[in-house]
Every structure is written in C-alpha cells, then in structure tokens.
A and B are shown apart, each in its own frame.
Chain A
C-alpha cells in the first residue's frame, strides 16, 4: 500500500493493495488525519486495486473514530475488486461513497 496526503492531511490517497499487513501504517495515517480538526476526511481509493476484509475492518474503525470526532468521512473512487467488495458488504449504507 502506498499513501499520499493532500490538503494538510485531510485527503488521503491509498494505492496498491490494502491488507492486514498495512495495519500499522494505516494507524499512523489515521493518527495524522485526526490531528487536524473540522475538515471532512476524504480517502481516495481510485488507485487501490485490492482490499481484504481486514482492510474493510480498518475503514470501519476509522468511521467510528470520525463519528467520535464529529468529522465527516468520504470514500472516493472505488473500482474493480474494491467496488465489488463494497457492493457485497453494502458499504454504501455505512459510508458516503463517491464515484
């Protein structure tokens, strides 16, 4: 998994594969994202090729944290396997998912 930040850390670009092995790196991303306040958090997945159930679990943890911090969270641009995973898990009912 590769990570890039934009807009002072409010926008995160995740590319490659997002799996269990990325949990430590993702924790660091989440910590950085929640350092800021007020901005909507956008996680851009347009270059993410693969996600497993651990990756979905980590996104759900971020969702809970965003809810606690009263920050809005948007998942943007899922495609391919990621989009199919979102469909089968009905992620669009849990998150704001943008094309």
Chain B
C-alpha cells in the first residue's frame, strides 16, 4: 500500500525511502480521489509514528544495554589494571631475589657469597698446609732426637761392657788379695770397694736404660701423632672446592637467567598495565554513544511531534476521514527485515498491538528465542 514492495533483503534500499508514496500527479487525479490519498497519507503517518516510537524505545534500550555492559567492562578493566600494577610490582621485587639472598634483612649478592665461601675454604687449606709443614719439621726434629737417643743407647752398651770388665777386675783382685793372706788385707778392701762401685754403676745403667726406653717410646708416640696431622687428606677439600665452584657458577648462572626473565616479565607487565589503562580510557566510548543516541531519539521525537500535529490538523480539517488502520502487509514486509526475534516481537507489539516496548524482553545475548505473545505469532 505504501510502496514496500521490494525484496526483504535488498540492502541497497531503506524502509523510509521505500515508504515514500508513489509520485502522484494531482492535476490528473480527480478531486473525488483526494480524500483517499489523504487517507493513505494519514495511515502512513500513523504507521510512521508507531515505527518512530518503536525505534525510540529500541534506541533507549540499546543505549541502556551498551551503558550497563560498558560500565561492567570498565569495572573489570579497572580491576585488571590494579592487578596488572600489583603484578608488575611483584615481578619487579623478584629482581632482588634473583641476584642474592636475604641475610639479616640485607640482600647479599651471590657473587659475594661465592667469594666468602672460597675465602673461608682457602683459609682452611692454608692452615692445613702450615700444619703439615710444622708437623714435618717436628717429625724431622724427632728423627734427629731419635738418632741422638740411639747414640746414647750405644754409649750405655759400652758403659755396661766397661762395668762388666771392672767387676771382673774387682773379683780377680779379691782372689789375689785372699791368696796374699794378711799382706793382701788392704788390697781386699779396695777390691770390695771397686766391686760395690761397679754394682752401683750397673744399677745406674739399668735405670738410665729404662729412662731411655721411656724417651724412645715418647718419640715413637709423638711421631705417630705427627704423622696423623701431617697426612691429613685434602682430597675432600679439593673436591669440596671444585663442587663449590660448580655450584656457585650454577647459582650465578641461574641468577643471571632469572634476572633476564624477570626483566622481560617486568617489561611485559608494564606493557600490559599500559594496555589495560588504554582500555579503561577507551571503554568510555559509551558516553559519546549515549549522547549520539539521545540526539537520534530527540530528532525522532521532533518528527513524531510533527506527524502528530499534521495528523491532528488534517483530521480537524477533514472530519469525514476514516480512522487510520494499520497496514498489515506493510508491517509484515518491514518486520521481515529484522533477524532478531526479540526486536521483531517488540515491533509487532508496538505497531499492531499498541503494547509498550519497555514491558517486552530486551535484546540480550543468548536470548533470541522468538516471542509467542500477541500478534507476533502472525510472523
């Protein structure tokens, strides 16, 4: 009726343009048909008003939906921004952990720990070395002492031999004194004294031998003790030092690797923070969108008002005109263009049933089930 005769999915055409009535040549239309033309104009105005009102409601709902979702997204992004900043700070704190360890509240670099351990081990090795040298000096001194004692023992043997000879001489002197009778009395006394002297010397030699044995045993014990000190096995120290060097190198390498990774992570975290901050700013688009949509709604209200006024003035000028009735076919062709079930349902309710769009379901994701209320069943 209003010229909506093109195909539903013709993208090059728009409903408003399609709704423009066919060119009417008033000079060839007889005056009897003027009322019919006006009737068609009035019907079109009525439908345009309904469409405008439905569009206003649709725009308002969409604006509200966009604003709600944008607010939710903005909140999420702000929380994400805070998390990203905290993450950056945490990752940054890893840098000091990668370089060293905490000792009494101070960060000690791994290189310093390595130097400290190496220094301590080197000090221990140096002391062992000095101990070995001093022990060997003592061993040589004891060897010398032992040689002296052995020489003394040989002297003691010679002393015993001399003493044995002396004793034998005393015994012979005593025999000769007895053989001499009274003349040998004095000689007997001397022989006895020599024999007593020899016995005393023998006893002293025995005592000295015992003492020398104690000295020899003492030297042997000291020798054994020094041997244990001088032969301390440093293999474990060598291996410990080598293991320590390998471990420390591994620790330093790990520290360097961690430092590189952490530096990259810090850089990436900062980039994420910057991106998220940009998103928080970018998500503010809903303010501009709302303002634009308010302008659209305002313009539609002005058109609606103008249509209402021209309808009113026309009806007042021509009281004989019939009341405007909805053009079902036109509405049907218009609604065929809508792919969203809820949108179609709201338009049906508004254009045909006169329902209020605010009472009908909104276009929300996942809620595209077609409505089955009222005239929607017609479509």
Contacts and interface: CB of A to CB of B under 8 A. Distances in A.
Interface of A: 19-20, 23-24, 27, 52-54, 56-58, 60-61, 84-85, 88-90
Contacts of A61: 133, 136-137, 140
A88 B133 contact: no
A89 B227 contact: no
A88 B238 contact: yes
A53 B234 contact: yes
B43 interface: no
Q: Majority SS of interface residues in chain A?
A: helix
Interface residues of B, number: 23
Contacts of A57: 129, 132-137, 230
Contacts of A89: 125-126, 129, 234
A85 B227 contact: no
Contact of A52 (B137, B143, B233): B233
B83 to A, nearest CB: 52
Contacts of A24: 143
Contacts of A60: 129, 132-133, 136
Interface string B126-165: 1011001111110110010000000000000000000000
A20 B132 CA distance: 10
Nearest to A51: B234
Contact of B231 (A52, A85, A88): A52
Contacts of B133: 56-57, 60-61
B143 A58 contact: no
B122 A85 contact: no
Given A27-B143, A89-B125, A54 B136 contact: yes
Nearest to A55: B132
A89 B233 CA distance: 13
A56 B143 contact: no
Given A20-B230, A85-B238, A58 B136 contact: yes
Nearest to B227: A20
Given A53-B231, A90-B122, 12 more contacts: A19-B231, A24-B143, A53-B233, A54-B231, A57-B129, A57-B132, A61-B133, A84-B238, A85-B234, A89-B125, A89-B126, A89-B129
Contacts of A23: 136, 139-140, 143
A54 B230 contact: yes
B230 A53 contact: yes
Contacts of B143: 23-24, 27
Contacts of A56: 129, 132-133
B232 interface: yes
A72 B139 CA distance: 25
A27 B238 CA distance: 27
A25 B237 CA distance: 28
B40 interface: no
Most chain A CB within 10 A, of B129, B143, B231, B237, is at B129
A83 to B, nearest CB: 11
B301 interface: no
Interface in B185-223: none
Contacts of B139: 20, 23
A24 B139 CA distance: 10
A89 B140 CA distance: 23
Contacts of B125: 88-89
Nearest to A19: B231
12 contacts: A23-B136, A23-B140, A27-B140, A52-B231, A52-B233, A53-B233, A56-B129, A57-B133, A58-B136, A85-B234, A89-B126, A89-B129
A97 to B, nearest CB: 15
A40 to B, nearest CB: 22
A89 B234 CA distance: 10
B232 A53 contact: yes
Contacts of A90: 122, 126
A56 B143 CA distance: 19
A-B residue pairs, 5 tightest by C-beta: A57-B132, A57-B136, A54-B230, A60-B133, A57-B133
B133 to A, nearest CB: 4
Nearest to A26: B136
Contacts of A84: 238
A92 B122 CA distance: 14
